[in-house]
A and B are shown apart, each in its own frame.
Chain A
């Protein structure tokens, strides 16, 4: 290696993170100005596909960091034994409301699942799942839990609230579900095209419409029983060639240099409080009450999916 050549940090993430409008380009600039290194982004088409990629290749691609894994996949990821423990003190994640003590995964943003509606078309939204199931006038777009993390999040959310009676609850929703999209982007796109009254997304989605498009008509339904959460995490791969640099990036991921770009780039909540311009974001994306956090195992995931698949025709 010549003296002038910079070290390269290979980060695997989902594609929207590094798009021109995602947080990736700004985070890259910010980190590269501090590390005298270059970031090489490698992408998969969805959050769910990230883990599969490193599992299939046993990380022969030389990826240093995997970023964007859904918390419901953490236990499965740990079973692969492909991830390294980190040395970051994560108890300072003030905005996460809990003391994070996982030794492998570090959270970098989070969100709450919710149904989004256009207040121009729907003036009296339901305030609970039971009310929603009774409103036959409301058509719903959800995502397939087998191919989409929000879809899996909804299955978890319903199971968490309804337990063994979740099958019956799914059945009561069935007639209202007009589309089961394979991915969040397809489902949300069809909602914007007017294909249904509400769509499964995040409580932060209205912030995008209000801040980026100046459209304040989109709102998130707030359910009194509480909302399930999705935490996105990152971790270092065991066979990383740049562990020191990877560690430096992990530390950077919970600093304002990274977190400043999360609300208006990834449209999720940052994990720390000290973030620039966060007030307007919270105005359009207030945090709902959250349910107890569940970091489901592989068998939990199977149970959640089964409760959906055995009820829907």
Chain B
């Protein structure tokens, strides 16, 4: 009997050890993608330092162009951020008061945020250019008034376009997430919308506004294509552009890295609040599909919404201009199809890589927060560090590492890796609120029932943020398809993406064909976002 009991105890102990080992292995494999990512970051950092130690640095000039670019980078970024936040706030309110379906608002705002920069830029020129629709109309009716969209005004106008939609999305989501009971209470006390905004809803907006400002500021600082198109003077140049010039035309990688580090350092100083998001993770999560309404739109909000709709939709008229140059032969040409397939493949691989690393990072981050580890902020920093480094500097560093590796990675993989590096912080930030939702309660239950970490991810987490995951994945897929930064450095006759194909048409005098392909590409993006939105809203299992 005693022997039998010992055997049973031994078996139980063995099973417990086995289960413990299994749990530890699962945790290890869940952390593995993040750890690999961390190794890549460390390699990048080591490479930068070794590069300076081993080789003789080229002359790095801190001339007036550099200081001017540095100054301009931050002036345009801060101004664009202010414009974007203020107008985004007003649009968010107007959208909340309107009767427009949340589903539609969501798709439209998402599209404006991720629309290809080159498409919006030429769309704006199509409307506001010297030969644009407005100028043509003024000439026709005999009004002698001319203005130029080029220069500082144009840069602010187009940069704000993308970021206003991001801020509007933020404020709109904050508003529709206000609990119904709270709204009923306001209604019962006859509180007007203005009073509600001023006295009761302000904390809701203030919560995480610093994070929103930080994100918008990062996007504005990394301005490249807009400056490339709209700058009408040599002094209207951002650091990204200077870095591009240093790499592409002077082969001065040292200057590119030093300039990149200077920008990263200033951005880190400015954006240290981003690392304070540990207290509240509600950011861009969408909880409701329709909201409970007590406030209605008025003439002012409707008029403002109409004006802003014109601002947002008018560049989309470019689609009609592009389609007017319909060219079936070009559309079904070998190179057009190949570039489309390359873009799809790069976007798929980039998305898969970034999802894998982001989910692993989210899991790791949550564990650190649950354990109240002192490394939690360091972990967040390791994710956001890629936001601070200029994309072109990152691309050139990876290019140099690949040279050291005797071109071990081909262009396709290099572009996919760079794209995924740039997507990781976006996915991480977007999914973090849902991942941390209710985590303290969950943690106690998980300990109580001994739930395997893998089961927690697939049976609890995934169900919680399935909808957000699909939405952010579609957005990142589109962003990755449209990326041109790394493709300009890494391409060959065998590897071309759609934006690269468009740029080829562009440098071969074929502007109408370029606009046509661009229009088809934008139609594809809109269709993709619409299908995803339908999927998300139709599937009842997606909360």
Residues of A within 8 A of B (CB): 14-16, 18-22, 40-46, 48-49, 51-53, 55-58, 60-61, 139, 144, 146-147, 177-186, 188-190, 192-196, 205, 208-209, 212, 267, 308-309, 312-313
Contact = CB atoms under 8 A, between A and B. Distances in A.
A44 B507 CA distance: 12
Contacts, number: 127
Contacts of A190: 125, 129
B252 to A, nearest CB: 9
A16 B232 contact: no
A267 B509 CA distance: 10
B368 interface: no
Nearest to A146: B245
A194 B136 CA distance: 11
A61 B493 contact: no
Interface string B140-163: 000000001010000000000000
Nearest to B491: A43
Given A57-B403, A182-B241, A192-B511, A147 B129 contact: no
Interface stretch (B174-182, B382-390, B439-447, B497-505): B497-505
Given A180-B232, A312-B233, A208 B249 contact: no
Contacts of B506: 185-186, 189
Given A48-B248, A189-B511, A19 B130 contact: no
B492 A40 contact: yes
A195 B249 contact: no
A178 B509 contact: no
A61 to B, nearest CB: 6
Given A61-B407, A195-B125, A180 B130 contact: no
Interface string B497-526: 000100111111111001000000000000
A309 B68 CA distance: 13
B253 A19 contact: no
A45 B122 CA distance: 20
Nearest to B407: A61
A43 B129 CA distance: 32
Given A51-B251, A146-B249, A193-B129, A16 B507 contact: yes
B504 A42 contact: no
A51 B241 CA distance: 19
A43 B507 contact: no
B72 to A, nearest CB: 13
A194 B139 CA distance: 14
Contact of A52 (B233, B249, B407): B249
Q: Which 4 A-B residue pairings sit nearest by Cβ, starting from the closest?
A: A194-B131, A41-B493, A52-B251, A16-B507
Contact of B232 (A18, A51, A179): A179
Tell which of B65, B228, B491, B509 has the most Cβ of chain A within 10 Å.
B509
A313 B233 contact: yes
B228 A186 contact: yes
A42 B251 contact: no
6 contacts: A16-B507, A40-B493, A183-B507, A185-B506, A192-B511, A193-B511
Contacts of B125: 190, 193, 195
A301 B500 CA distance: 30
Contact of A20 (B232, B241, B333, B494): B333
B234 interface: yes
A53 B250 CA distance: 10
B290 interface: no
B313 interface: no
A21 B510 contact: yes
B121 to A, nearest CB: 10
A309 B234 contact: yes
A180 B234 contact: yes
B68 to A, nearest CB: 11
A178 B148 contact: yes
Contacts of A180: 231-234
A226 B382 CA distance: 58
A171 to B, nearest CB: 14
B509 A15 contact: no
Contacts of A178: 148, 150, 232
A267 B494 CA distance: 24
Contact of B130 (A44, A177, A196): A196
Contacts of A40: 492-494
B509 A212 contact: yes
B235 interface: yes
Contact of A188 (B150, B247, B504, B509): B509
A19 B249 contact: no
B229 interface: yes
B400 interface: yes
B333 A60 contact: no
B506 to A, nearest CB: 5
B142 to A, nearest CB: 19
A195 B333 contact: no
B106 interface: no
A201 to B, nearest CB: 10
A182 B249 CA distance: 12
Nearest to A54: B251
B248 A49 contact: yes
A195 B253 contact: no
Contacts of A308: 234
B150 to A, nearest CB: 6
